[in-house]
A and B are shown apart, each in its own frame.
Chain A
Amino acid sequence: MAIIVTDKGFTTDDFASPVRPLAEIDQVQDGEGVEIGPADDPRALVGVLGQVGLIRVRFPAFNDGRGFSHARDLRSFGYTGRLRAVGHVLADQYAMARRVGFDEVEIDESLGARQPEDQWLARANWRDNWYQARLRA
């Protein structure tokens, strides 16, 4: 079962509504989720940002950083809802994910076994030592 990582550690997924790929954007009902991949253009979501309940941003590989810009972009379009990074994200990237606007990270059990909860909790202090927030504020 998927593991959801937040500042409080590991938990289970409580998002019960369907999550649709970007191709099905026209069929998204209020409160449903949408998923985008690295090569997708989040601008396509601008019209529905007020009604979706969750946006999942897929990370097929930890060293493909496009998802970080997608998160920042989605927030800059005014999206204030739930934003989740999904896939191959490392504990060491948790602070980066939170800082660009993700609320949580979803990983699979094998990654969670190799990088257990304490390694993620070690970066729950992601607001500390944050140069960009200090410069932007």
Chain B
Amino acid sequence: MYKYNEFDEAAVRSRVAQFRAQVQRRIDGSLTEDEFRPLRLMNGLYLQLHAYMLRIAVPYGTLNPAKMRQLATIAERWDKGYGHFTTRTNLQLNWPRLKDVPDMLEALADVGMHSIQTSGNCVRNVTADHFAGAAADEIEDPRPIAELIRQWSTDHPEFQFLPRKFKIGITGSPHDRAVIRSHDVGLRMVRNAAGEPGFEVYVGGGLGRTPMLAQVIRDFLPQADLLPYLEAILGAYNLKGRRDNKWKARIKITVFENGLDAFRADVEERFERLRSQWSGVDQDILAEIRPHFAPPAFRNAPVDSYEAFRAANPVFRAWTDTNLHEHKVDGYAIVSISLKKHGATPGDATSDQMRVMADLAEKYGHGDLRVSHEQNIILPHVHKSDLPAVWQALREAELATANIGLVSDIIACPGMDYCSLATARAIPIAQQIALRFDELKVEHEVGPLKIKISGCINACGHHHVGHIGILGLDKAGVENYQITLGGDGTETASIGEKMGPGFAASEIVGAIERLVLGYLEIRRDAEETFLECVRRVGLEPFRAFLYEQEETADAA
């Protein structure tokens, strides 16, 4: 885990002081609301439907017990005792008061955290593979690079007023858990023929109202060229990106309208010009960052007790089947803690639950915690012999739901319950679907299935890359839910296709049920996942499940 040096500490403290003064100047009228807006946004403070919302950055989703405990304390002291983990691996507090926010930021700075650039038209919190440093299939740990990008993007003077927000994602594994092709810039760590480290650079991805997958702009970028190259991309975008239409302002549209080749030529020209301004000292700083992410001292211990407990306890066994992933070290597992208890708000955790997770990470998890973009919490390094104890503690905290990757492990944006842009509710739909499948008791039989729900066209719930995507719209004052099928956010990325007319709030759960039960009928065998099945048979059979139900009923 990266620990702030004196420079970071001073930078974050001075930001808090600046924001404290800005709040003061807003109150005394030096700043108009229009002028204050981008300044508060730069510090992650939104005005939502009912109140302010503070979005706290969890850079590349990495936390330690002290940070997690401080989040619990902040949520309790200045908010309602819970927080919401988001698809950008940040934490949102939904009820802070403006006058408290400087103190909340100060409390964050005490543990080396901030809320800088979690909103506004700037470079946002960089996201990385949530299994970084633990996954068996990883080529290289992306977190040191992600931290380098965090430092570089913080307060970047040239890029605080871009045409639109800008998101960077990075993965160090061939299996893309970071959904890099849905980012403005996606980075895949690779090595060239000579074995030198570098990046395959993607540009122009994004969801929202015009979903696009990022394309390769450079197939091999040497590691030392990363920051000047990013500046070249951002500079080209800053000047060429559209500012006349908010819906056309993301870089995906800039790339699309100018053409990838022309955009690339512009980037390369800028890169040539800027490269010489970089002395290489960033690589020295990267070298200083690396030891912060050194692997922990893994234990070598027998796992018999784990196997015995697993054999004897079917509930535990079901949890290990879904909530564990393969670790690179023998005897270890990656534990996913589900924040998707059936019927609960996806991604919410109470302060008490945050403390339980912090304690477990400290006691059994080498002090490491991650937030996943799927809105769950990860303990990346747990020795298998400790799993029964971890599971029992999680059960007591209502955190042991065995549903990772299943139907009820739903991503949902805040929707109408909190978000001022929403056209429909998202959270209640997620809750109802989860409860329904819990009743049906089929989710383990159904297996891997990603449902993603957005409460408006902005697609914060990533519905375009859900195997089943649900988009909540407003049809003449009535909520209407549109279904897309076949989306995928991994290395085999694809954008889901629209099925047809939408469904009312009262119909959507039944529609999803028909899709899923229909899949069980037509899948080749239990090995064929939902997504594989959709890819094999196409959309038509699923359309029939969705829309021909009544005719079947008539015939019967």
- Answer whether residue B157 sits at the interface, using C-beta atoms and an 8 A cutoff: yes
Per DSSP, chain A at the interface is helix
Across the interface, do B156 and A132 meet the contact criterion of CB distance under 8 Å? yes
Across the interface, do B157 and A135 meet the contact criterion of CB distance under 8 Å? no
Interface size (A, Cβ < 8 Å)?
Answer: 35
- Answer whether residue A134 sits at the interface, using C-beta atoms and an 8 A cutoff: yes
From B11, B29, B39, B148, contact of A92 by CB (8 A): B39
What residue of chain B has the Cβ atom nearest to residue A88's Cβ?
B35
Contacts of B161 in A (CB 8 A): 62-65, 68
- Within the complex, the shortest CB–CB distance from B445 to chain A, in Å, comes to 51
Contacts of A119 in B (CB 8 A): 25, 30
Across the interface, do B235 and A72 meet the contact criterion of CB distance under 8 Å? yes
- Answer whether residue B162 sits at the interface, using C-beta atoms and an 8 A cutoff: yes
Across the interface, do B152 and A132 meet the contact criterion of CB distance under 8 Å? yes
Across the interface, do A100 and B157 meet the contact criterion of CB distance under 8 Å? yes
Beyond A76-B277, A135-B227, whether A128 also contacts B159 by CB under 8 A is no
- Answer whether residue A48 sits at the interface, using C-beta atoms and an 8 A cutoff: no
What residue of chain A has the Cβ atom nearest to residue B281's Cβ?
A137
Across the interface, do B274 and A76 meet the contact criterion of CB distance under 8 Å? yes
Across the interface, do A69 and B35 meet the contact criterion of CB distance under 8 Å? no
- Within the complex, the shortest CB–CB distance from B263 to chain A, in Å, comes to 15
Q: Which of B10, B11, B157 has the most CB of A within 10 A?
A: B157
Per DSSP, chain B at the interface is helix
Across the interface, do A131 and B35 meet the contact criterion of CB distance under 8 Å? no
Alpha-carbon gap, A86 to B7, bound state (A): 32
- Answer whether residue B121 sits at the interface, using C-beta atoms and an 8 A cutoff: yes
Across the interface, do A129 and B239 meet the contact criterion of CB distance under 8 Å? no
Across the interface, do A129 and B155 meet the contact criterion of CB distance under 8 Å? yes
From B10, B160, B243, B282, contact of A128 by CB (8 A): B10
From B38, B39, B285, contact of A135 by CB (8 A): B285
10 contacts between A and B (CB under 8 A): A63-B161, A69-B235, A70-B239, A76-B274, A90-B31, A93-B160, A116-B30, A119-B25, A135-B152, A136-B279
B: residues with CB less than 8 A from A are: 7, 10-11, 14-15, 18, 21-22, 25, 29-32, 35, 38-39, 121, 148, 151-152, 154-162, 227, 235, 238-239, 243, 273-274, 277-279, 281-282, 285
Known: A62-B38, A115-B31. 13 other contacts (CB 8 A): A65-B159, A65-B238, A66-B238, A68-B160, A69-B238, A76-B273, A93-B160, A96-B160, A119-B30, A131-B151, A135-B148, A135-B227, A136-B282
- Per CB-CB distance, the 8 closest pairs between chain A and chain B, nearest first, are A65-B161, A99-B157, A96-B157, A129-B11, A135-B282, A68-B158, A69-B238, A76-B273
